[in-house]
């Protein structure tokens, strides 16, 4: 595979994210074609369309790099490099007319037989026209300006986002922590877009974000952003390929009781 610098790859990811975001805006008030309905999720035809557009845009710049996406893979995703894409993170919000959804694109490089490291990430919110970017050797930026995590060090001052996998085991393990944190933290938020929650932690809008079960495409770009803005990512790989996750500003780990929260 030919070598490349992060800048052209970042430019390609930004172009792809903006193009998909434009499609989201164009179809915002139009009827949505449902591709599949699950107990706690909705898949739209627009998810597929946006991923195809992202794939086409990225392949025009880097035809040799495969894509691992929520809506399916293209190419050998165990190659030396791969894109990791969530074309519409927050599809249920989008479907119900809640303007809190984003495009998430990450580029990963292989570091071992099965290990990958994210080297750049892009998250685009088409409703606010906010674009977050990060590279492994640079600071996270929002619309071109550097951002950093919050300085709040007391749980009583913190705003924490939580997400919940809907199976019974996860709910039983999560609800006691929700009860504890809701009584101690300033506010708890359940917002419905993992990519934006991570971008918000990186920007200091949220102080922490917790999910017991989450997919790679939800977090690949945002995790890098949290780390490159001074925050901390705690990830625990699960046997099914998903993750337990907590992102915070680097000052709340002990108070969040991560060991018991994410075991």
Structure tokens at 59: 């392949």
Q: What is the domain partition of the chain in residue ranges?
A: 6-146, 155-261
Global pTM exceeds 0.85: yes
113 by Cβ neighbours in 10 Å (0-12 / 13-18 / 19+) ranks as: exposed
pLDDT (mean) for 210-238? 96
pLDDT in tens, 106-159: 999 999 877 999 999 999 999 999 999 999 999 999 999 999 999 999 999 999
**121 with 105: CB under 8 angstroms?**
yes
Which residue blocks in the chain are alpha helix, DSSP H?
A: 6-26, 45-61, 91-95, 168-184, 194-203, 216-227, 253-256, 258-261
Q: Tell the CATH topology of 155-261.
A: D-Maltodextrin-Binding Protein; domain 2 (3.40.190)
| Residue 170: per-residue pLDDT | 78
Q: Which CATH superfamily is domain 6-146 in?
A: Fructose-1,6-Bisphosphatase, subunit A, domain 1 (3.30.540.10)
106 compared with 176, residue with greater pLDDT: 106
Residue 246 sits at φ, ψ, to 5 deg, of -140, 130
pLDDT (mean) for 214-235? 97
31 compared with 219, residue with greater pLDDT: 219
Residue 2 has pLDDT above 80, yes or no: no
**208 with 231: CB under 8 angstroms?**
no
Structure tokens at 259: 């060991």
pLDDT (mean) for 200-204? 98
pLDDT (mean) for 47-63? 96
Residue 258 has pLDDT above 90, yes or no: no
33 by Cβ neighbours in 10 Å (0-12 / 13-18 / 19+) ranks as: exposed
């Amino acid at each position: 595979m030919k070598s490349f610098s992060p800048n052209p790859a970042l430019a390609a990811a930004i172009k792809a994210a903006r193009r998909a975001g434009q499609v989201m805006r164009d179809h915002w008030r139009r009827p949505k074609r449902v591709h599949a309905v699950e107990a706690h999720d909705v898949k739209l035809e627009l998810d597929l369309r946006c991923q195809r557009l992202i794939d086409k845009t990225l392949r025009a710049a880097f035809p040799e790099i495969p894509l691992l996406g929520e809506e399916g893979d293209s190419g050998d995703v165990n190659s030396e490099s791969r894109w990791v894409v969530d074309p519409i993170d927050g599809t249920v919000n989008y479907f119900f007319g809640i303007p809190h959804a984003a495009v998430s694109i990450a580029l990963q490089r292989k570091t071992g037989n099965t290990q990958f490291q994210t080297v750049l990430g892009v998250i685009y919110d088409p409703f606010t026209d906010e674009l977050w970017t990060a590279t492994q050797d640079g600071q996270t930026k929002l619309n071109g300006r550097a951002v950093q995590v919050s300085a709040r060090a007391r749980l009583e001052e913190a705003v924490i986002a939580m997400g919940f996998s809907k199976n019974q085991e996860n709910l039983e393990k999560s609800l006691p922590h929700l009860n504890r944190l809701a009584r101690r933290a300033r506010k708890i938020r359940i917002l419905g877009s993992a990519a934006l929650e991570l971008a918000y932690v990186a920007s200091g809008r949220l102080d922490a974000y917790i999910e017991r079960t989450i997919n790679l495409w939800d977090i690949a770009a945002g995790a890098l952003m949290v780390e490159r803005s001074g925050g901390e990512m705690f990830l625990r790989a699960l046997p099914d390929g998903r993750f337990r996750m907590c992102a915070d500003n680097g000052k709340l780990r002990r108070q969040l009781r991560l060991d018991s929260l994410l075991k």
